[in-house]
Structures are given as C-alpha cells and as structure tokens.
C-alpha cells in the first residue's frame, strides 16, 4: 500500500477543513480506512477519487493518427470482449486490436483525449438501472461531442461469494456485518460505481467494511480472491462466478457499450471489428460463459430523449 494520510493531512491536501473530510467520507465516497479508531486515507486512492470527479476538461490538441491497422480500445474489461479481441487478432493478420484496461470512466476520458478509437463502458446513473441511463449522462458531462454508441452486450452484475455461501450472505446489506471481508474494484470502474450505489442504498459506509480498499484490477481478480479465501465476497460479473464455480447474488442486468468517435467510425478496422458482433463466434462464446444477453449486440443505442422524440 502507498502513503497513508491522516485526517489533518488529507484536509490540507484537499484544501478543506477537517469537518468537511468526514462529510466527504459518508456522502461522496472519499477513500478511507479506520485503524485503531482513527481514519487514514490512502494517497493513491484519494488522487484517483479526485480524478474520477473531474469535469470540463479542455479539448485535446493531439488527434489520433490516420488508421494504419491498429485499433486501440480503452475502458472496462470483460471476458467476452477479451475473447472477441483474441478472435479478431487471429483472423485478421493485417489488423490488430490492443486493449488498455482503464475502467469505464478512464475509457471515456481516453476517448476525449484522442488516446483510443473505442471506449468500453457500463456506467449507470446514480441509483438508476434504467437502460437509457447507462453511459449517456457521463458522455454529456465529459465530451463536447457525442460519440457513436454501439451495444456490445448486456451482462449480469452482482456479488461473487464463496461456494456454498458459508457466511450466509443474502444481500449487499449483509456485507456490513462484523467479520465479513471483501475485495473491491477501482474507482472509475462501472462495477465500483454500481457497488457504491448499492452500499449507499443499503445504508452502509463502504469504508467500514474490511477489504473495501483492497483493490483488484479485473473481475477475474475479484473472483480469484473469493475462490482463494482471501475475501468472502466481491463485486463482479456473473460470467466470472460461473467460470470459477462461485455462488453469486445478482444485482442487475447492465448495458455494456462500445463508444466510438464519429470521425473514426468508418475506419476499416473498426468496421471489421463491429462486423464480428453479429457473427456466431460471439453468440457461442457468450452461451459458454453464461451471464450474457446479446439481444441488442451490434445495435446503435441512443439517449432517452432521442428515443422519446423519435417515438
């Protein structure tokens, strides 16, 4: 773990008074952990928390170079997406997809800064799991120009539990019980965002849960932590629980989208990649993994107001 700040030090770092620090812990999810009755703040997580809330970035001066065979994808990781990227790279010898795991918000910001061709994201508006509320509120906040939004899949999100559920965890609220240890995803990921929303609805301050700041980079890392007994539970997608034979509490079906700058949408490689969303390979792999719904995969999706006006 990196440097830990005291309450006084983090207040100075954020340029606020100490009373405001406690409010930010409970109301805004300021990363914190309690040791021997005192709050401590991991500096690297505080920096990530600041980054995740930053708005109104300037337009980048640098543009992506003309397409020359490499497709850059940044954002949320997914087992099915990993499989499709590998399949694409094995089929198309003159094209290559490279993936940067940055979390959903990181993908959107990479798209804004012209660091990628495609961003993968599943950010849901706070306390709302309506299909129309995925990604669009954040795209409007972060980008000056709306990208093309293509659905990759719908997938089931929830909580992975040890096989047999030895601690009798039935809901998110049970994670607040004494003796429960979790593993968690990073700030800026759609899974962490959803999990924090669920904790808030359950009336739980996440920082009081043992392991709340035990950050794992990928869904599979959460599953392996639970499988190996290093955590009793953790937020992740159902395909990971299926693959590792873990118990699972379903929270919602979420929309996982691919976000593409409109001026790069018709690049040859991007069109080849999108074309594979309708091929049997994706459907067969999704069925094998479990926890996926491809009913709108490959379809363009639109904000709620556009759908309403077109109706």
SS (H, E, C) 147-182: CEEEEEEEEEEEEEECCCCCCCCCCHHHHHCCCCEE
Query: What b-and-e string marks burial along 269-279, b requiring 16 or more CB atoms within 10 Å of the CB?
Result: bbeebbebbee
Structural domain contains residue 85: yes
Structure tokens, 311: 């109706």
78 and 145 together in one domain: yes
* Domains in the chain, number: 2
Do both 48 and 106 map to the same domain?
A: no
Residue the block writes with tokens 């040890």: 162
In a domain, 302, yes or no: yes
pLDDT in tens, 114-148: 999 999 999 987 655 555 578 988 888 888 888 99
The answer to the question of residue 124 being in a domain is yes
Low-confidence residues of the chain, pLDDT below 50?
1, 307-311
The CATH code of the domain that includes 33 is: 1.10.1660.10
Q: Which of 237, 257, 239 is nearest to 121 (CA)?
A: 257
DSSP string, 230-297: S-SEEEEEHHHHHHHT-EEEEEEEEEEEEEE-GGGTT-HHHHHHHHGGGSHHHHHHHHHH-SEE-TTT
- For the stretch 164-171, contacts whose Cβ atoms lie closer than 8 Å and that sit 24 or more positions apart, written own/partner, are 164/247, 165/247, 167/232, 167/233, 169/232, 169/233, 169/249, 170/249, 171/202, 171/249
Co-location of 40 and 87 in the same domain = no
Model pLDDT, residue 82: 97
- Domain presence at residue 126: yes
Whether residues 85 and 47 fall in one domain: no
Per DSSP, the chain holds a count of helices (H) and strands (E) of 12, 12
Q: Looking at the domain assignment, is residue 202 inside a domain?
A: no
Residue 223 lies in a domain: no
CA distance 276 to 81: 11
- Residue 132 is part of a domain; what is its CATH number? 3.40.190.10
Domain identity same for 8 and 143 = no
Examine the domain organization and report whether 1 and 142 are in the same domain. Answer: no
DSSP letter (8 states) at residue 15? T
**Taking a C-beta distance cutoff of 8 angstroms, is the pair 235, 220 a contact?**
no
264 and 148 within one domain = yes
Same domain, 23 and 140: no
Q: pLDDT per residue over 231-284, tens digit each? A: 999 999 999 999 999 999 999 999 999 999 888 999 999 999 999 999 999 999
Range of the domain at 34: 1-53
138, 7: one domain: no
Residue 83 lies in a domain: yes
Domain co-membership, 122 together with 91: yes
* Domain-embedded: residue 205: no
Please check whether residues 39 and 84 belong to one and the same domain. no
Taken in order 277, 280, 285, 291, the sign of the CA dihedral is positive
Q: pLDDT value at position 74? A: 97
Q: 57 with 109: CB under 8 angstroms? A: yes
What is the CA angle 188-100-241, rounded to 5?
A: 65
């Amino acid at each position: 773990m990196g440097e830990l700040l005291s309450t006084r030090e983090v207040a100075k770092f954020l340029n606020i008074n100490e009373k405001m620090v406690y409010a930010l812990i409970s109301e805004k999810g300021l990363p914190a952990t309690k040791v021997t009755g005192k709050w401590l703040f991991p500096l690297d997580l505080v920096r990530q928390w600041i980054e995740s809330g930053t708005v109104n970035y300037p337009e980048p001066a640098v543009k992506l170079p003309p397409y020359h065979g490499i497709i850059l994808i940044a954002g949320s990781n997914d087992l099915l997406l990993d499989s499709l990227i590998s399949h694409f790279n094995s089929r198309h010898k003159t094209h290559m997809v490279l993936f940067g795991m940055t979390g959903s918000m990181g993908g959107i910001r990479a798209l804004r800064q012209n660091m990628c061709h495609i961003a993968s994201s599943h950010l849901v508006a706070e306390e709302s799991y309506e299909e129309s509320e995925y990604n669009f509120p954040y795209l409007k906040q972060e980008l000056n120009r709306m990208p093309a939004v293509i659905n990759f899949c719908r997938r089931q999100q929830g909580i992975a539990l040890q096989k047999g559920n030895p601690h009798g965890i039935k809901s998110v609220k049970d994670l607040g019980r004494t003796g429960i240890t979790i593993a968690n995803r990073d700030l800026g990921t759609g899974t962490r965002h959803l999990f924090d929303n669920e904790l808030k609805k359950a009336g739980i301050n996440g920082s009081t849960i043992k392991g709340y700041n035990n950050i794992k980079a990928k869904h599979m890392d959460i599953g392996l932590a639970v499988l190996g007994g290093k955590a009793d539970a953790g937020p992740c997608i159902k395909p990971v629980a299926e693959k590792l034979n873990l118990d699972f509490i379903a929270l919602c079906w979420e929309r996982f989208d691919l976000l593409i700058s409109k001026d790069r949408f018709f690049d040859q490689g991007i069109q080849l990649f999108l074309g594979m969303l309708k091929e049997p390979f994706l459907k067969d792999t999704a069925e094998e993994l479990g926890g996926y719904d491809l009913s709108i995969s490959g379809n363009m999706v639109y904000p709620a107001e556009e759908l309403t006006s077109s109706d």
